[in-house]
Amino acid sequence: MRYRIQDRGKIEVNPFKEMGMIKFWMISTLVYLTFPVSLVVSYVMFGPVLTKQLISALIRDFQQTLLVALVVLMVLMWMIFTYVGPFVMGWFGG
């Protein structure tokens, strides 16, 4: 597991960094579907530290998803302009 040393000498364990993709996907889906209630339940059941770690892991996952989607969109646009563009321009006499 990954450890992070706190200011007071405590060692903080983040279980979401070592979690598998399928398990984290199921947890994040459950949190997103029951959003306000899931945060309150997480705060009451697991405490503020684990809830903060969960929120930070969800934000990081969302940012990675957006980054991958943007890269895929840029590659698709490049492919369309490179390969389909000249074909379409031929229709208009260009």
Q: Which one has a higher pLDDT value, 9 or 84?
A: 84
- Confidence band of 13 (pLDDT split at 50, 70, 90): confident
pLDDT at 59: 92
Q: What is the DSSP letter of 40?
A: H
Question: Rounded to an integer, what distance in angstroms lies between the CA atom of residue 67 and that of residue 73?
Answer: 10
**Helix, coil or strand: residue 15:** coil
Whether residue 12 contacts residue 49, with contact meaning beta carbons closer than 8 Å, is answered with yes
| Tokens linked to 10 | 């405590």
Name the CA radius of gyration of the chain, rounded: 22
Question: What count of residues does the chain have?
Answer: 94
Which residues neighbour 27 within 8 Å (Cβ) at sequence distance 6 or greater?
Answer: 19, 54
Please compute the mean of the pLDDT values over residues 8-16 and round it to a whole number.
72
